[in-house]
Structure 1
Amino acid sequence: MTDPVHPRPQLVREHWTDLCGQWWFGYDDADEGWDGHWWRDSAHFDRTITVPFPPESPASGIGDRGEHPILWYRREFRVAPGPGERVLLHFGAVDYRATVWVNGQVVVSHEGGHVGFRADITAALHPAGEEQVVVVRAEDEPRDPAQPRGKQHSGDAPTDIWYHRTSGIWQPVWLETVPARRVESLRWTPEVSEGSVALRLCARGKRNDRLAARVVLRLGEEILADSTFRVPEGGELTERIALPAARDSRRSGRLLWSPEHPALIDAEITLLHEGVAADAVRSYFGFREVGTADGHFLLNGRPYFLRMVLEQGYWPESHLSAPSAEALREEVELIKSLGFNGVRIHQKVEDPRFLYWCDRLGLAVWGEMPSSFAFSPTAIDRFSREWTEAVERDASHPSIVTWVPVNESWGVSEVATRADQQDYVAALYRLTRALDPSRPVISNDGWEHVSSDIWTVHDYAPTGDVLKRRYADPSTIDEVLRTIRPGGRRLHLGDVRRAGQPIMLSEYGGVSYAADDELWYGYSTARSPEDLVERYRDLTGALLDCAAVAGFCYTQLTDTEQETNGLLTAAREPKADPAVLREITSRPE
Structure 2
Amino acid sequence: MSRNEHPNPQFQRRSYMCLNGAWDFAKCLYTSDVEFTQKIEVPFCPESVLSGIGDRSFITDCVYSRTVEVTADDMRGRLVLHFGAVDYIATVYVNGRRVTEHVGGYTAFEADITPYVFEGQNRITVAVHDDVRENIPSGKQSKKPDSHGCFYTRSTGIWQTVWLERTPVNYIKAIKFYPQSDYKTVRVELLTEGCGAASICVFLNGKRVGEARGEVEYRHTFDIELSEIALWSVGEGNLYDVTATFGEDEVQSYFGFRIATYQGRKFMLNGKSVFQRLVLDQGYYADGIYTAKDAAQFAHDIALSKALGFNGARLHQKVFEQRFLYECDKAGYLVWCEFPSWGMKCDDIKALGVFVSQWSEVVEQYFNHPSIITWCPLNEAWSDLDNAKLVRDVRFVEAAYNVTKSLDPTRPCVDVSGGYHGRYTDIFDFHNYHSGAETVSYIEDIKNTDTLTMDTVYAPDSAQEQILYDCGLPLNASEYGGMLFAKSDDDGWGYRSVASEELFLAEYVQMTTAYLDCEKISGFCYTQLYDVEQEQNGLYSYARDKKFSDGVMRRIAECNTRVAAIEK
Q: Secondary structure, in 3 states, of the residue corresponding to 1:201?
A: strand
Q: Structure 1 pair 412/402, CA: closer, same or farther in 2 (3 Å)?
A: farther
Q: Secondary structure, in 3 states, of the residue corresponding to 2:24?
A: strand
Partner residue of 2:496? 524
Amino acid at match of 1:221: G
1:529 to partner: Cα distance: 3.5
Aligned length: 552
Pick from 366, 371, 380: which aligns with 1:394?
Answer: 366
Partner residue of 1:103? 95
Q: Secondary structure, in 3 states, of the residue corresponding to 1:78?
A: strand
Partner residue of 2:210? 225
Q: Is the 8 A contact 2:487 2:497 kept in 1?
A: no
Partner residue of 1:539? 511
1:487 to partner: Cα distance: 2.9
Partner residue of 1:302? 272
Q: Secondary structure, in 3 states, of the residue corresponding to 2:416?
A: coil
Pick from 538, 552, 563: which aligns with 1:588?
Answer: 563
Amino acid at match of 2:133: R
Partner residue of 2:64? 73
Pick from 457, 464, 468: which aligns with 2:440?
Answer: 468
User: Is the counterpart of residue 170 in structure 1 residue 159 in structure 2?
Assistant: yes
Partner residue of 2:242? 267
Q: Is the 8 A contact 1:503 1:548 kept in 2?
A: yes
Query: Structure 1 CA distance, aligned partners of 2:76 and 2:124?
Result: 22
For structure 2, the 5+ residue unaligned runs are none
Compute the TM-score of the two structures, normalised by the length of structure 2: 0.91
User: Is the counterpart of residue 564 in structure 1 residue 564 in structure 2?
Assistant: no
Q: Is the 8 A contact 1:404 1:445 kept in 2?
A: yes
Q: Secondary structure, in 3 states, of the residue corresponding to 1:60?
A: coil
Query: Structure 2 CA distance, aligned partners of 1:202 and 1:346?
Result: 31
Query: Structure 2 CA distance, aligned partners of 1:67 and 1:469?
Result: 45
User: Is the counterpart of residue 132 in structure 1 residue 98 in structure 2?
Assistant: no
Pick from 37, 47, 50: which aligns with 2:32?
Answer: 37
Partner residue of 1:454? 427
Compute the TM-score of the two structures, normalised by the length of structure 1: 0.88
Higher strand share: 2
Q: Secondary structure, in 3 states, of the residue corresponding to 1:59?
A: coil
Amino acid at match of 2:484: S
Q: Is the 8 A contact 1:72 1:137 kept in 2?
A: yes
Q: Is the 8 A contact 1:558 1:570 kept in 2?
A: yes
Q: Structure 1 pair 377/495, CA: closer, same or farther in 2 (3 Å)?
A: closer
Q: Secondary structure, in 3 states, of the residue corresponding to 1:380?
A: helix
The Cα offsets for residues 344-385 of structure 1, whole Å up to 9 and x where unpaired, read as 000000100000000011111000001133244652211111
Q: How does 1:271-350 map to 2 (within 5 A)?
A: 271-272=246-247, 278-350=248-320
User: Is the counterpart of residue 360 in structure 1 residue 343 in structure 2?
Assistant: no
For structure 1, the 5+ residue unaligned runs are 246-251, 273-277
Q: Secondary structure, in 3 states, of the residue corresponding to 2:41?
A: strand
Query: Structure 2 CA distance, aligned partners of 1:373 and 1:567?
Result: 30
Partner residue of 2:357? 385
Amino acid at match of 1:259: V
Partner residue of 1:19? 19
Q: Structure 1 pair 514/25, CA: closer, same or farther in 2 (3 Å)?
A: farther
Amino acid at match of 1:271: F
Partner residue of 1:63? 54
The Cα offsets for residues 42-85 of structure 1, whole Å up to 9 and x where unpaired, read as xx110101111111111111111111200100111213252622
Query: Structure 2 CA distance, aligned partners of 1:575 and 1:102?
Result: 49
Partner residue of 1:248? none
Query: Structure 1 CA distance, aligned partners of 2:307 and 2:466?
Result: 41
Cα RMSD for the two superposed structures: 2.6
Q: Secondary structure, in 3 states, of the residue corresponding to 1:541?
A: helix
Indicate the percent of aligned positions where both proteins have the same amino acid.
37
User: Is the counterpart of residue 52 in structure 1 residue 43 in structure 2?
Assistant: yes
1:260 to partner: Cα distance: 2.2
